[in-house]
Structure 1
């Protein structure tokens, strides 16, 4: 399916690995030109080189710390005329109210919550002046399926869901669409590391992590491209009447699924 994204300019944060890197691949396959942002410059350069060679698209790398307001402003300025923004960066830790202190909580939200909000503010203003744009927030199903042992993520994701719906509910007045995706468990380094820790705690052997994953729908987490392909579709005009909504991709877990 041709999504008519050829030549579009896409800014993706947290693009060095996982869902962000998969999104970069999906948009590059559609012929979009990319701005990739993350802290790991080496990983970004390796990805950029591969995408340029494979898909003959322009790829610009931005090694930035999205917790820093100056870095956010510089990113928005250097990315220029962005048609599509994918907010994806985040590394919220697990833990309960008792175990996560204020400094850790604020540090996590500076990237995932305020990082999304502040970069959206900068890019939205530029899109509004140009008269079009799409903003996709990669949030997470913990904002729907609350977990007291992931309380920082559940609260942050719920806030970003509300932010996405509130902004996307009126953004079509500016010819801008704002949507969100709530992935459940995805086969990223972070989820695999978490599964290993759970296996160690439950079985005393981290190499039994596949037994943890076997309890998921289809006996596996989602593939990063299953999230990224939805991002590409939502960014396209084939989804041109979609705004202010959250698409959950979790194999039915939030609907009571799983084994």
Structure 2
């Protein structure tokens, strides 16, 4: 299905690996010019070369740590007039209230929670002046599944869900759509590390992580492509009436609530 996105400019943060790289690939496949932001210069440049060669699109890169002062302005200067902003950078550390100290909690929120908010604040007026745009926030289903062992992430994701819905509830008045996506476990290096950590804690051995994976719907995590394809649809005009909401992609994990 042609999403009608060819020629649009899409900026993706956290684009050097995992879901971010998959998002860049998916949008480039649709003929979008992509602007890639992350900390790793080498990974970004390698991905950009791949996208140019495979899809003939413009692929530009900016290596910047989104948690550093002035990063938002640098991204705005780099991105200019984009049609789609995908907030994807950042991972909030796992652990209980006593595992995650104040410094780690603030660092995680500075990159993801305030990173998303600050970029949205910066790009929204530019999109409004141009007559429209789309802002997509990759959040995570931890904001729906309140987790004692992921308390900083659950709280941060819940805040971003509220932010997305509050802004997106009015944004169509300015021709802008704001939508959040809550992936569950996705087959990336990060989830592999998380599963090994959980297996060590729960089962006594990191090597038993496959046993935890088997408990997921269909016995697996979501693929990056399954998540990225949803972002592409949400960015397209085929989803023109979608704003101020959160779409969850976790195989039903968030809805599987039972006393038995």
TM (norm. structure 2) is 0.97
Equivalent residue, structure 1, for 2:230? 230
Does structure 2 retain, via aligned residues, the 8 Å contact 1:251–1:257?
Answer: no
Equivalent residue, structure 1, for 2:201? 201
| Superimposed CA distance per residue, residues 63-115 of structure 1 (whole angstroms, 9 cap, x where no aligned partner) | 01111241210111121110000000112111111221111110000001000
| Superimposed CA distance per residue, residues 33-91 of structure 1 (whole angstroms, 9 cap, x where no aligned partner) | 00000001111111111111000000000101111241210111121110000000112
Equivalent residue, structure 2, for 1:214? 214
Equivalent residue, structure 2, for 1:5? 5
Equivalent residue, structure 2, for 1:177? 177
Measured in 1, the distance between the counterparts of 2:142 and 2:71 equals 28
Measured in 2, the distance between the counterparts of 1:97 and 1:200 equals 19
How far off its partner does 1:243 sit? 0.3
Q: Does 1:246 align with 2:246?
A: yes
Equivalent residue, structure 1, for 2:141? 141
Measured in 2, the distance between the counterparts of 1:155 and 1:126 equals 30
- SS of residue matched to 1:222: coil
Measured in 2, the distance between the counterparts of 1:94 and 1:206 equals 16
Measured in 1, the distance between the counterparts of 2:204 and 2:148 equals 23
How far off its partner does 1:257 sit? 6.5
Measured in 1, the distance between the counterparts of 2:98 and 2:79 equals 40
Does structure 2 retain, via aligned residues, the 8 Å contact 1:217–1:257?
Answer: no
| Superimposed CA distance per residue, residues 122-158 of structure 1 (whole angstroms, 9 cap, x where no aligned partner) | 1111101111100000000010010011000000000
* Range 10-19 or range 93-102, more displaced: 93-102
Q: Does 1:27 align with 2:27?
A: yes
Measured in 2, the distance between the counterparts of 1:201 and 1:129 equals 51
- SS of residue matched to 2:186: coil
- SS of residue matched to 2:20: helix
1:157-168 mapped onto 2 (5 Å cutoff): 157-168=157-168
Measured in 1, the distance between the counterparts of 2:257 and 2:220 equals 13
Equivalent residue, structure 2, for 1:40? 40
Structure 1 stretches lacking a partner, 5+ long: none
Structure 2 stretches lacking a partner, 5+ long: none
- RMSD over aligned Cα atoms: 1.3
- SS of residue matched to 2:70: helix
Equivalent residue, structure 2, for 1:107? 107
* Range 29-38 or range 203-212, more displaced: 203-212
Number of paired residues? 259
How far off its partner does 1:201 sit? 2.8
Measured in 1, the distance between the counterparts of 2:93 and 2:142 equals 12
- SS of residue matched to 1:68: coil
- SS of residue matched to 2:104: helix
